[in-house]
Chains A and B, each alone.
Chain A
Amino acid sequence: MSKLIISGSPHVHGDESVSKIMYTVVLALVPAMLVSVYFFGFDAIRVLAISVAACVFFEWLIQKYLIKGPLTINDGSAVVAGVLLAFNVPANLPWWILVIGALVTIGVGKMSFGGLGRNPFNPALVGRVFMLISFPVQMTSWPVPKPLFAPQLTDAITGPTALGILKEGIGAGKTIDQIMADPHMPDYIDRLTGNMSGSLGEMSAMALILGGIFMVIRKVIDWQVPVSIIATVYVFAGIFHLIDPQHYIEPAFHLFTGGLMLGAIYMATDMVSSPMSMKGKVVYGVGIGLLTIIIRLWGAYPEGISFAILILNAFTPLINMTMKPKRFGKATA
């Protein structure tokens, strides 16, 4: 008999692995990918492919030649970052901006902190915000969706986003009723299915929620983060809408426009940069929700969730230090 193996308990391991988690996220993103391809056609495929390829390439390059550490491009985390980065940009973004964004995502957002597990901020958001600040024009010229099989009637190539129309209208002193009458404003159905201008992957709330439910069932994310963000945005926007319905749009509008669903379900739930305890997750989610709606209502940008998540990412260590899980045998406080 060959030698017996000695190691401490436990002697069995569950079937979780890092790559399994990452590819589950990718799988959860597939419905939203399909919707984006439906609405933006080849452009969507182009942006997704460039972003994923560039992220994986830079991860490999940096690990092999700069850090000279172990190669982990197979763990799927670079693929996830790539898809999320693509989802956060307009479908007509020039390829070279995307490549620069990928470099910042992987190089600055992830590797400069020591790689997977050590990055305090969501890497894809670091990349996105960098591009937004460096290339504001290209990053905010949104293509109008042209559904794959629909007759191509419109000659407009780009158009404003629903949140953009809202921000501009409020700024010009229009009432909500006047803003909603704007011909560019997507209707309810379009807001739900994603037939509107915006970043590649933020469009279809339905597809994003579907993926979110899948991730909750597969225990890749906890529902506390997205639900507390969405609930906070809804309640907060709702209070202002009740006070002054002609100045503050109905809260549901905020839920289904812009990057809220994408951010709440896929970006804020990034395990590495979000808090560990359930209590902490709720505090973090409420914080993101509050900041998002503050920026949307009174900030300079029509959209606020990216900034809100990055800011709360910075608070994660503090939340982890103060929001401990409920210990066994301690009276509930």
Chain B
Amino acid sequence: MDNNLTSKLKYREAKLGYLMILPLLTVVLVFIILPVMGTFWISLHRDVTFIPEKPFVGLRNYLRVLSAREFWYSTFVTVSFSFVSVSLETILGLSFALILNERLKGRGVLRAIVLIPWAVPTIISARTWELMYNYSYGLFNWILSILGVSPVNWLGTPISAFFAIVIADVWKTTPFMTLLLLAGLQAIPQDLYEAALIDGASMFERFKSITLPLLKPVLIVALILRTIDALRVFDIIYVLTGGGPGGATTSISLLAFNYYNLGDYGIGSAISILTFVLVLSFTIVYLKVGRFRRD
């Protein structure tokens, strides 16, 4: 009798539990899972807007994409962008976090200031950088002219456009890294440093043998999150260079987007799915390397 009652109650509880996660699952299913599966399905068809038939072509779209130079070039651009951008951001973010972790007058104000780039919407910060990079009346060429250096066409050559994008992105995303690493730094017990000081360890030695190892778990999480984000870069490139000059800064997301714009959904979808595969493989590598080092 009693047993029966508890199992009935448990059943009712479980039912309520499912009911409470139902809205979440529904929205996520219809607007994330279904679209990803749908995109995969489209990628298996020759699907061009202006042609009514959409024949099933299996993996042919993938073969076409994988044998095209522009895809590998975009992959190269995306991976190098992610590598350079995340590295710079980690170095800068760690420096900022170390500064903010010290007892310093005005630390509260500094902590607030570091949030500003994060709070400025990506498109707006991209527009501001675009203006600062402007050839004839941008801030940077103005500074160069004061120094007596001839102006640079920042967004006009492949290499300088690449770095222009990287710098704008690093500005925007460093605060996130700083905040995560600062949280990590604050979790390190202070007495470790005191003990090291008594042992006569130098500033650098303390950093190398206490700060870095204890920060590693947070650092790996932060690197994964930022890399996942950098590999799907779109907004900032769309505004700053539109992928130019001559396709030199086209990331994979932008390449897929361009195909959608042309009405070629089959190829666009195949590139989109490959973007996901790239993100996934990087995450797996990070997790493997991270665990391997911790053991």
Q: Are A and B associated in one complex?
A: no
Binding site for A on B (CB under 8 A): none
Binding site for B on A (CB under 8 A): none
